């Protein structure tokens, strides 16, 4: 729905501009007023849907091996991320954590039939119950940050990312986001998109109890 509404808005606005120019050129005042009123009504409706969907959206916490879809140019939602394992440890590669190291194994998969796809500027952040935010430790990842690499059609790859989180952290959840430049701007006003204004997000829970391997 969001994509269709966005396309209709762009197309309708283009048509309205053409008709408005014609109305002003021919001095057809009633047509100019009609077009202006229609544009205002449409944008009011669009804003109502944008904020309405964000208002009724619900935050979600995913578990192990639960996929989260990422869309290409808002149409081809073939890329997915999953958290497949979480390990906690106090020391790693001769380094001692300020709190505890969380090593999170992430799977990137594609169910496309032909094209190679890739996440654009994937970003990883842990959010806790107090809304504190933690960035990954880049120099401790196993092989850097490979999550932008292309995924062949129907294939997948896995790699790890590491966080140093406080011992007393409560309900740590991993937020994965992507997008650059104009993508982010468009998604801000895309109806029912996770990155739209005020929309609730889907996180990955990192406290997996018996499913978590502690070292």
What is the per-residue pLDDT for 212? Answer: 44
> Alpha-carbon distance 123 to 177, whole Å?
5
Domain 60-214 has CATH 2.60.40.1240: yes
What is the per-residue pLDDT for 75? Answer: 57
What is the per-residue pLDDT for 72? Answer: 56
What is the per-residue pLDDT for 181? Answer: 67
* Interior/surface letters 27-48, b for 16+ CB within 10 angstroms, e for the rest: eeeeebeebeeebeebeeebee
CA distances, 153 to each of 58, 106, 140, 165, 213 (Å): 31, 18, 30, 35, 31
pLDDT per residue, tens digit, the chain (215 aa), is 666 777 788 888 899 899 989 989 998 999 999 999 999 999 999 999 999 999 999 999 999 999 998 875 555 678 899 999 999 999 988 889 999 999 999 999 998 888 888 888 888 999 999 999 999 987 545 455 578 888 898 999 999 899 999 999 999 999 998 877 677 777 788 888 888 889 999 999 998 643 444 44
> Alpha-carbon distance 119 to 68, whole Å?
13
């Amino acid at each position: 729905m969001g994509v269709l509404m966005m396309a209709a808005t762009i197309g309708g606005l283009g048509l309205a501009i053409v008709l408005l120019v014609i109305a002003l050129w021919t001095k057809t005042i009633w047509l100019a007023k009609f077009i202006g009123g229609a544009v205002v009504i449409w944008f009011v409706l669009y804003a109502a849907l944008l904020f309405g969907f964000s208002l009724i959206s619900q935050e979600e916490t995913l578990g192990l091996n639960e996929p989260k879809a990422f869309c290409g140019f808002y149409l081809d939602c073939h890329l997915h991320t999953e958290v497949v394992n979480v390990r906690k440890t106090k020391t790693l590669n001769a380094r001692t954590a300020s709190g505890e190291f969380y090593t999170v194994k992430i799977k990137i998969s594609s169910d496309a039939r032909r094209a190679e796809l890739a996440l654009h500027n994937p970003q990883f952040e842990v959010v806790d119950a107090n809304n504190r935010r933690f960035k990954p430790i880049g120099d401790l990842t196993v092989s850097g940050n490979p999550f932008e690499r292309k995924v062949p059609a129907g294939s997948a790859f896995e790699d790890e990312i590491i966080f140093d989180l406080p011992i007393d952290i409560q309900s740590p959840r991993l937020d994965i986001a992507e997008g650059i430049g104009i993508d982010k701007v468009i998604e801000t006003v895309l109806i029912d998109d996770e990155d739209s204004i005020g929309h609730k997000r889907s996180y990955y829970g990192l406290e997996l109890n018996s499913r978590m391997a502690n070292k």
